[in-house]
Amino acid sequence: MQGFHPETESQAADVVRAALSENQAIQVTGNGSKQGWGAPVAAEVALGLSALSGIECYEPEELVLTAKAGTAMAEIEQALTEKDQTLAFEPPDLGPLYGGGADSGTLGGIIACNLSGPARIRSGAARDHVLGLDAIGGRGEIFHCGGRVVKNVTGFDLPKVMAGSFGTLGVMTSITVRALPRAEKLRTVLIFGLDWERAGEAMGAALRSPHDINGAAHLSAGAAALSQASYVSGAGQPVTALRIEGPGPSAAARCAALRALLAPFGETEELHGHNSGLLWREVRDVAALLPAAGNCIWRLSVPPASGAVVTETLIAATGAEAFMDWGGGLIWLSLAPGLDAGAGVVRAAIAECGGHATLMRAPEALRAAVPVFQPGDAITEQLAARLKGVFDPAGIFNPGRMNKAA
């Protein structure tokens, strides 16, 4: 495979046009930190965007940042931190999950995969924070969509279409995202010893309360023991975590009220600043809590009320390690590869309640043989095919990566 690392948008467009003229497929990547996610790509040209980097415009007073697609997330987060701001969708760092280093992800990779962390339950997905972008389409043309203002609604929302497309619709070259002020205080209420069902009930009660919870997760005893946060690793039992952020007096008052509300569920404890932030980074980035390198990793999105039942069913059937995020709406599952990476039993477990099961990590041979993404119904597949036909009529971008079946 011939590799290219353009430093400008025009150079990237030249690579696309050249590949198109030779009828060659293109593997599009940022820094390659999540290359193990998705089905294997069959391509003759590798287009890496890591050199197409740098923050182009940051207006803290307007809460808007524009950066080239290959810009490291670490660079963006540092710039935001200096102005006491953050990305509200809490982008995960999944590099270690795939055996790479931390802080290796790029803005383009985050948006292409539509990645969001624990705060998604309140702040929405990554696509909800994209204001505009520049990209190269499947005919080699450069196009622009959206803008650099928060109130920007003009026709079809192309940034939302590109977000989560895994590089199959075009090559994003520049992205504008919305920033938000960083919370003054971070506190986490912990409940100890709950089983999956009771944990789901506790998280549901907290999320229905007026206390503005923006993180709700449940760790098995095994996952909790792997945490570096005090009170969590030493618990010796399952831990349910509920996060509150905001001005100091408000966070303290809501924390106290939440602990009173959750008293019927059992003993509680409270984490502050450093330890609280550490725990939620572990939940966000997954790898530290599910460290078995040879295991397959599944990401299940289900109705929160079904999270506990689905998790218990899969643990009983496979012996998997697991934890829940998003109040039970997101299940991370680690299990031995087997013949099909557990696809049959995993997708059977969510069949009744609905949802999506994505094979996040597995050996390449399994990713080629097993549907990596949740198979859709006929209408969904037709719409996806029509979008592909509009943006990439020759099918040159990341062919096969989002295949639903072998």
The confidence score (pLDDT) of residue 264 equals: 97
pLDDT in tens, 162-174: 999 999 999 999 9
Is pLDDT of 50 > 60? yes
Give the mean pLDDT of the chain. Answer: 94
Confidence at 149, pLDDT banded by 50, 70, 90: low
Whether pLDDT at 365 is above 60: yes
- Res. 152: pLDDT tops 80: no
**Count H helices, E strands: the chain?**
13, 18
Q: Which of 27, 29, 114, 115 is nearest to 69 (CA)?
A: 29
Rounded to an integer, the average pLDDT of 12-37 is 95
CB 137 within 8 Å of CB 364: no
pLDDT at 405: 42
pLDDT at 319 over 50: yes
pLDDT score, position 180? 97
Query: Confidence band (pLDDT; 50, 70, 90) for 376?
Result: confident
Report, as an integer, the average pLDDT of 274-286. Answer: 97
pLDDT score of 156 more than 80: no
The CATH code of the domain at 185-285 is 3.30.70.2190
Q: Domain spans of the chain?
A: 2-47, 53-181, 185-285, 296-378
273 falls in which pLDDT band (50, 70, 90)?
A: confident
Three-state DSSP class for residue 385: helix
pLDDT attached to residue 14: 97
pLDDT at residue 285 greater than cutoff 70 = yes
State the pLDDT at residue 148.
65
Residue 155 has pLDDT above 60, yes or no: no
- pLDDT higher than threshold 70 for residue 296: yes
Q: What is the pLDDT of residue 383?
A: 86
**Class of domain 296-378 as given by CATH:** alpha beta
Task: Name the token pair of 43.
Answer: 């391509």
Q: For 79-116, b where at least 16 C-beta lie within 10 A, e where not — what string? A: bbeebebbbbbbbbbbbbbbebeebbbbbbbbbbbbbb
C-alpha span between 10 and 140 (Å, rounded): 10
**C-alpha closest to that of 215 among 303, 315, 326:** 326
Fold of 53-181: 3.30.465
**Band of residue 355 on the pLDDT scale cut at 50, 70, 90:** very high
What's the pLDDT tens digit per position in 86-111? 999 999 999 999 999 999 999 999 99
Entry pTM = 0.94
pLDDT exceeds 60 at position 177: yes
Fold match flag (53-181 vs 296-378): no
pLDDT tens digits, one per residue of 196-249: 999 999 999 999 999 999 999 999 999 999 999 989 999 999 999 999 999 999
In the chain, what percentage of residues exceed pLDDT 70?
97
- Rounded Cα distance, 70 and 181, in Å: 24
Select the more confidently predicted residue: 119 or 381. Answer: 119
